Structure 1
Amino acid sequence: MYKTVDASRIEITQLMLPSNTNFGGKIHGGYILNLMDQIAFACASKHSGSYCVTASVDTVDFINPIEVGELVTMKASVNYVGTSSMVVGIRVESENIQTSVKKHCNSSYFTMVAKNENGKPTEVPGLIINDKNEVKRFLKAIKRMHTKHQRKIEFDSINFSLENYLKELEGYRVRVELTEN
């Protein structure tokens, strides 16, 4: 079975309240991450028809702060599917109710895994992509996974040699003082 991206697209809008602020008076990033996790769950569950869990979160860059009293809209869509996993792309925007000015606050990618009634990974429907942006999102997800896998191979290998990398640290604000171990 295959489903379109549109079949599981989710959008939520919520008013930001004073109770969700950090010590700087802006909306707490942790609160926004919690909302993002909820919408990722809803989107992935809608696509898969199963309970889903968060496996990883990639690239959460807080671009613009969110103010108390603004409306925050989160848009989520399935960008990629594997056998039991899905990458859900989320875009977060805020809107000043009085001025109607909108800001892009962040975008992120949540990898969600569908689970069966025994808590084991279960197969998810394939994805029908039907426009250029959906194709680009699918390809970007593949590229992120490939890069992550290559980095793991490079740095987790038993053949990893620190000496091969020390020169790359030149120019950074770091001083290497290795101890014997």
Structure 2
Amino acid sequence: MTHPITTFRFLAEPTDVNFGGNVHGGIVMKWIDQAAYACAAQWSKCYCVTVSANGIRFIKPIKVGQLVEINACLVHTGASSMHIYVVVKAGDATDDNMSVSNRCFITFMAVDKDGTPKNVPSYVPEDEIHMQLELVAMHAKEFAKELDNDFTNNIGVH
């Protein structure tokens, strides 16, 4: 299979703004989830559900009217899981210069019509950059497991 990258491009709208005059963080998280879902569904060829979002970073605010570009790239697979690296960029629509405003890893699981996990095709990194991204995704996966363990066993939160 070819390396899956999904790209969304659109303008940030006035309905996306928060009280501070920037695009609301929740809206950005929705965009991230949508782009990552499209990437996961294309890879697995089935319905997918969000499992987790790791390391979401809000680096630079997005202003209403800016051109927004979201790139979602598969970087690691498990048996039924797909780990996707998402980068959000924004800038003036009349300019070629866009800067990174957000980035994160988001994990999806492929499921059948009953919600049972389905196996997905294995992903093999194509180059050094994608090998490094896969290593970071695997580290994030292990960290998420440790965090779950801490909540359940050390704090007693279920």
| Same fold? TM cut 0.5 | yes
Secondary structure of the structure 2 residue equivalent to 1:61: strand
Q: Distance in 2 between matches of 1:135 and 1:20?
A: 35
Q: Distance in 2 between matches of 1:85 and 1:116?
A: 13
Aligned residue number for residue 48 of structure 2: 52
Aligned residue number for residue 91 of structure 1: 87
Which runs of 5 or more structure 2 residues have no equivalent in the other structure? none
Give aligned-pair identity as a percent.
30
Q: In the alignment, does 2:58 pair up with 1:81?
A: no
Aligned residue number for residue 140 of structure 2: 144
Aligned residue number for residue 122 of structure 2: 126
CA RMSD of aligned residues (A): 1.7
Q: Distance in 2 between matches of 1:69 and 1:60?
A: 23
Runs of 4+ in structure 1 deviating by more than 6 angstroms, as ranges, are none
Which runs of 5 or more structure 1 residues have no equivalent in the other structure? 162-181
Q: Distance in 1 between matches of 2:137 and 2:69?
A: 23
Aligned residue number for residue 174 of structure 1: none
Q: In the alignment, does 2:25 pair up with 1:29?
A: yes
- The correspondence for 1:66, drawn from 53, 57, 62, is 62
Shift in Å at residue 98 of structure 1?
A: 4.0
Q: Distance in 2 between matches of 1:55 and 1:155?
A: 16
Aligned residues: 155
CA deviations over 1:25-45 (Å, ceiling 9, x no partner): 111111111111111110000
Give the TM-score normalised by the residue count of structure 2: 0.90
Question: Cα distance 1:31–1:80, how it changes in 2: closer, same or farther (>3 A)?
Answer: same
